[in-house]
Structure 1
Amino acid sequence: MSTSGDAPDARRAAVLGSPIGHSRSPDLHLAAYRALGLTGWTYERIECTAERLPDVVGGSGPEWVGYSVTMPGKFAALNVALSATERARSIGAANTLVRTEGGWHADNTDVDGVSGALGTAGIDPSGQPAVIVGAGGTARPAIVALAEMGARSLTVVARDAGRARGARELAERMGLSVSVIGFDDGALSSVCESSGVLVSTVPAEAAAPFAPSLAAAPAILDVIYHPWPTELAALAQRRGAVVVGGLEMLLNQAFTQVELFTGQSAPREAMAAALR
């Protein structure tokens, strides 16, 4: 994949996903590489389904140092890796692939994204009940982050209990007492109101019909950043809740990715400025 005109220090990285055109990851990574003086490094968006991911990653030349992976490829990313962090294995999905001498290594820095975003907003779930909306690929790292931050218990809001089985089992392995309720459960509003924090991991349009109940939570992380604000975020802000959005999560997970790709400390101020 390299060309004869590449600089000796040329390195490549990219974000894989579908759709991928809205991704702000190139802004963050390119700002970091410039700040670190890595003038030969590039970072791009690659439209890539889960089915295509093994071929894309497997066909990477030696100039490729890593991939960020968004949906729908996070489960496939873990499967193509020859090694993985414990948290990626526990979650069952990876959002980061790093080239090592032994092959591709997987991690899930979404955990850092959730904990970093909550910390930035001054939201401390320690000792409090938490709510997670959704039970898919982004819910799982949120469960790990909330458990590591000391949440007392967890309620998973999902379309049906079957879809939430994996999330429930992960929460229990992390030592959380967990319950599962549906979006149409009559207790939804009171559960959210009595929580310390709610993390919504579902698309904006999926949360919108239930926003009046979900927005009862005193503190909310909505992992969406496009479009923003979501109906949930806007309603919660009008009600006086502490609200943090997906850009903060994206930024905080990218700090770890940059450090894994480059072996250097992430230039956090330069990366944050790239989002403003």
Structure 2
Amino acid sequence: MLNDASVDPGHANPGYRAAVLGSPIAHSLSPVLHNSGYLAAGLADWSYSRIECTADDLPRIVGEAGPEFRGFSVTMPAKFAALEFADEVTERARAIGSANTLVRIDPDKPSAGWRADNTDCEGLLAALDELTRGEPIRSAVVVGAGGTARPALWALAQLGAVRIHVLNRSDRAAELADLTDSIDVTFSTFDTDIAAATVAADVVVSTVPSQAIEAYVNDLAHAPVLDVIYNPWPTPLAVRAASHGYNTVGGLVMLAGQSYSQFEQFTGVPAPREAMREALFAHVASQH
């Protein structure tokens, strides 16, 4: 039985459903995005909720989902399990190595199984476009080499970056090789000359918690900054970069950007992007 953390009693048996899977999941803002999208698109028979789900839980939860469930957003720690569970995998999800989206291959035939996709890369593309205001990106510094770094590298490659410096506490070059074959990528620890790397970069993309780079903020803040953190915002890195006159963008832009394609894959309806983004930012503002 699905362990749904936030089902509205008024929607106990809606026509169609979607949900976000992860653990912990109570903090997820995905319901704000998707439910506001349903409202704006006039999809009164759709609802979206949160379901507590570990990697081990995912095959059971998705496998037992009734036909009313048309799709799932997937967050950590279940993104790798989602990729492994799927019957079909998109090219970009396979390249990135994880999935944040599961959608029925044929909604009219639930037995057809599930397709895995990764729309995090679309969120990165949207955030980078807002950060650079359409200016080309030829070089970048990526901080971190974990789960979010992978779609960041994919997005930067799609935007034409040819030189990327990856900063991480350990060498993850072998794990990321499939994403960096066509790019001149340098991997180094934080012992390198960070300031020189960021001064030479068009953008800095930080994919790690703020406390992990507290000692390096001064050296990192020499280029426009995309920091995937959105709570709290602004981060120390964003504050320092802004004080140097650089544009900064936070994780809320990425979060909104990754939701649009999910919405469209689940519903088959164009996402009301402006309404979804406005609802997200208004919700976050109301919490402070």
TM-score (normalised: structure 1): 0.92
Shift of 1:122: 3.1
SS of the equivalent of 2:71 reads: strand
Shift of 1:231: 1.6
Structure 2: runs of 5 or more not aligned? 3-9, 107-111, 283-288
1:92 and 2:97 matched: yes
Q: Percent identity?
A: 52
Per the alignment, residue 181 of structure 1 pairs with 188
Q: Does the Cα contact within 8 Å between 2:11 and 2:47 map onto a contact in 1?
A: no
Q: Does the Cα contact within 8 Å between 1:131 and 1:154 map onto a contact in 2?
A: yes
d(CA) in 2 for partners of 1:127 and 1:269?
25
In the alignment, residue 129 of structure 2 is paired with which amino acid? G
SS of the equivalent of 2:232 reads: coil
d(CA) in 2 for partners of 1:259 and 1:168?
31
1:192 and 2:192 matched: no
Per the alignment, residue 165 of structure 1 pairs with 174
Q: Does the Cα contact within 8 Å between 2:198 and 2:219 map onto a contact in 1?
A: yes
Shift of 1:272: 1.4
Count of residue pairs the alignment pairs up? 269
d(CA) in 2 for partners of 1:46 and 1:230?
29
In the alignment, residue 167 of structure 1 is paired with which amino acid? L
Per the alignment, residue 82 of structure 2 pairs with 77
Per the alignment, residue 68 of structure 1 pairs with 73
Deviations 1:195-239 (A, max 9, x none): 0011111122212222111112x2111111122222211221222
In the alignment, residue 114 of structure 1 is paired with which amino acid? L
d(CA) in 2 for partners of 1:122 and 1:136?
24
1:51 and 2:60 matched: no
Structure 1: runs of 5 or more not aligned? none
In the alignment, residue 140 of structure 1 is paired with which amino acid? R
TM-score (normalised: structure 2): 0.88
d(CA) in 1 for partners of 2:19 and 2:13?
19
d(CA) in 1 for partners of 2:140 and 2:221?
13
Per the alignment, residue 146 of structure 1 pairs with 156
Report the aligned-residue RMSD.
Answer: 1.9
d(CA) in 2 for partners of 1:75 and 1:97?
12
d(CA) in 1 for partners of 2:275 and 2:35?
10
Any residues of structure 2 matched to 1:1-276 within 5 Å, and which? 10-101=15-106, 102-124=112-134, 126=136, 128-161=138-171, 163-172=172-181, 175-185=182-192, 187-216=193-222, 218-275=223-280, 276=282
SS of the equivalent of 2:164 reads: strand
Q: Does the Cα contact within 8 Å between 2:207 and 2:228 map onto a contact in 1?
A: yes
Shift of 1:6: 6.7
d(CA) in 2 for partners of 1:183 and 1:10?
52
Q: Residues 122 and 26 (structure 1 numbering): CA distance in 2 closer, same or farther, change over 3 Å?
A: same
Shift of 1:27: 0.6
**Is 58-67 or 226-235 further displaced after alignment?**
226-235
Q: Does the Cα contact within 8 Å between 1:67 and 1:96 map onto a contact in 2?
A: yes
SS of the equivalent of 1:121 reads: helix
SS of the equivalent of 1:207 reads: helix
